[in-house]
Amino acid sequence: MMTRGFRIITAALITVFALLSPPAVNAQDYPTRPVTIIVPTGPGGGTDIIARLIGAQLAQQLGQAFVIDNRPGAGLLVGTTAAAKAEPDGYTLLLGLNGSMAVNPSLFSKLPYDPIRDFTPVAMLADYPFVVVVNKEPPVRSIAELIELAKSKPGELNYGSAGSGTGQHLSTELFKMMTGTNLAHVPYRSAQAVYSDVISGRVPVFFDNISGALALVQSDKVRAIGVTTQARSPVLPDVPTVAETVPGFEYHTWFGLWAPTKTPRPVVEKLNTEVGRALSSPAVTASIRAAAGEPATMPLADMEPFVAAEIAKWADVIKRAGVKVD
């Protein structure tokens, strides 16, 4: 028979374990209050736009607001770090992208978060290809001609970017490594500044997001010679892929949702299902494609291995190119 003292100790232990254990989550009822999506960039850019698009659709499907919380700064570190430290209850999510989740681990010597350890994948959202544009005057009308010209003038042909460590910079460094060419990097403060010099001929080569280049290509101010994804872009169907000349070359900006690690699995799985529904919405699909992107489809189980592979890929490029930002 239990003694009174033993019963008291047992009751106390049960109370302690209950306090230490994560609360039971009824995914069927989730969410019961607004959900915050932290965006590590300012309002108005591509990252913000995709967050608002998906957030609005999820709000419609789930009956709760999905509030966009823009926290720009320090090369995506401010917002991403805040999300990593948030309560893992399903009410704070991160709009992550390849810069924050795959590139930053090698760009920063003291990264205040770990993309694998500190986050749980929720769902991929969209992919956006880059396009290689050149000045219209030089005799470069294809990727093959660009490679030939660069090899004939090693170190003399400049390319622009919106700064060290950006996708514009790293995609071109990957191209250099895979083609054995030597292009000189000229960093700018913005893509708009690069385009001014591409048009004038001072910087004849630029790898940039199709959405940023499309209007200039269509108005015949710059020439598009290659798309950086494995398949041609529907918005530039006559432009070959870089991979048609350089097998295996691929670069794209990808976006997804992550939650702080230890977020209850039922909540993650429900969100994953709801994002899948959102991406199949004709209005959401049309909005993504209007900006030259494609809805992303990836099984939840594949997201972490995908990010790990991307981290390894860009670690190699950053190391070999000697890219430093801190």
Q: What is the pLDDT of residues 15-33, one digit of tens each?
A: 444 444 444 456 788 999 9
Residues 59-64 have a mean pLDDT of 98
* CB atoms closer than 10 angstroms to residue 141: 12
Rounded to 10°, the helix 265-279/300-321 angle is 80
Alpha-carbon gap, residue 38 to 69, rounded angstroms? 5
Q: What is the DSSP letter of 78?
A: H
Evaluated on CA atoms 303, 260, 92, 16, the torsion sign reads positive
- What secondary structure letter does DSSP report for 242? G
User: What single-letter amino acid sits at 174?
Assistant: L
Phi, psi (rounded to 5 degrees) for 190: -155, 160
Mean pLDDT of 244-252: 97
Check if 27-128+253-321 and 129-244 are the same fold.
yes
Helix (H) or strand (E) holding 8: helix 4-20
CATH topology assigned to domain 27-128+253-321: D-Maltodextrin-Binding Protein; domain 2 (3.40.190)
pLDDT at residue 12 in the model: 45
Beta strands in the chain (DSSP E): 35-39, 66-70, 92-97, 119-134, 158-161, 184-187, 205-209, 223-227, 252-260, 294-295
Mean pLDDT of the chain: 91
Tell me the percentage of the chain whose pLDDT exceeds 90. 85
Q: Where are the alpha helices (DSSP H) in 180-299?
A: 191-200, 210-218, 265-279, 282-290
- Distance CA(149)–CA(134), nearest Å, equals 12
* CATH architecture of structural domain 129-244: 3-Layer(aba) Sandwich (3.40)
Confidence of residue 291 (pLDDT cuts 50, 70, 90): confident
Does the pTM surpass 0.85? The reply is yes
- What residues does each domain of the chain span? 27-128+253-321, 129-244
Query: Does 35 have pLDDT greater than 80?
Result: yes
